[in-house]
Amino acid sequence: MSVSRIATFAHTQQMITASLKVQADMAKVQDQEASGVKSSSLGGLGADAARLLRLNSQSARLTADNAAATDAQSFAQGAYSAVGDISDLATTILSQLSALNSGSSDDSELVSTYASQWLEDLQSMMNADLGGISLFSGEALDGDAVDFSDAGYDPTADPTASDTGYYQGTAKARTYTASDGSTVEISVTADDPAFEKLARALTLLKASPSDADVAQQAYDLVQESISGLGTLQEGLSARVSALQDRIDHNTAKIDILDGLSSDLNGVDLAEAAVKVTQQQTQLETLYSTISRLSSLSLLKYL
């Protein structure tokens, strides 16, 4: 039997095996370069997988917290604006009462008409909602916050006593609860004294428009209401600010966590490009060597 080729089989197989490994390594780096991450699966990260899971979980929790806090902040801002509208109404009422009380003629019919209209306006404002959720009903999800025609509401029975029989909501105000269990009240309830005094003033005025003592009591109640509404707005403003501080703090944490995650699973694109170039050069060298080994023949050397 004649031998026409030099015994290069073993070397050729080694070169092929080496080229396959370089191909696999290059494909991996190319995938990393395209995706920007070291591995699309946790299994490819080895010991870093558990840490990456923890970082991503913390980031996701804070992101969800921020979404809820943003919704809560919008609700609190809505309540703040609505209280401001009611405060504007109360200021108008006070000015009108001052003018009516200073008049010498009997304006009882006009006072009764004004009081009725003001009471309707107040009920409409106190039943304001945001996204279908009542601003002043506490934790109640639907329904109006107040009904001044409720059978249980009659401040004329004792004009000096607080009467919240008109209130249709819950005792507890609506709150935002973070994942760590901390809470922030994001609204006020319509049975607050600031609202009650304004409603009582108008109801008494409507029932006894010609009574000078009632007119004076109504005037005093409206003044107290305006002061109380201002306090409510201050509280809501502070809660809006507190929620913004929480959002900013969470955002800073999220940035840190995402940065750590990127360090664990991120890829230096410039470094990856260099690796791909080096592996391509290495692969071309292996292919050239394999080609030369395959073409060697003993006859050329005889």
Q: Two tokens at 97? A: 């009462």
Q: What share of the chain is helix, strand, coil (3-state, %, to 5)?
A: 70, 5, 25
> Residue 57 has what pLDDT?
87
In this prediction, residues 50-74 reach a mean pLDDT of: 90
Query: Averaging pLDDT over each range in 11-20, 65-74, 279-288, which range is the top one?
Result: 65-74
CB-based burial label for 176 (10 Å; 0-12, 13-18, 19+): buried
Contact 101, 205 (CB under 8 A): no
pTM above threshold 0.85: no
Interaxial angle between packed helices 9-35 and 269-295, expressed in degrees from 0 to 180 and rounded to the nearest 10: 160
Distance CA 254, CA 244 (A): 15
Q: Which of these, 250, 202, 243, 237, lies nearest to 96 by C-alpha position?
A: 202
pLDDT of residue 245: 95
Q: How confident is the model at residue 25 (pLDDT cuts 50, 70, 90)?
A: low
Overall residue count recorded for the chain in this entry: 302
Find where tokens 């609190």 sit. Answer: 76
Three-state SS at 177: strand
Q: Determine the Cα–Cα distance for residues 299 and 5; give it in Å rounded to an integer.
A: 7
More confident site: 63 or 272: 63
What's CA 177's distance to the chain center, in Å? 12
**Per-residue model confidence as pLDDT tens digits over 177-215:** 998 899 999 999 999 999 999 999 999 999 999 898 999
User: What is the C-alpha to C-alpha distance for residues 137 and 189, in angstroms, rounded to an integer?
Assistant: 6
d(Cα 260, Cα 245) in Å, to the nearest integer? 23
Closest CA to 218 of 208, 204, 229, 228: 204
What pLDDT score does 297 carry? 45
**Whether pLDDT at 106 is above 70:** no
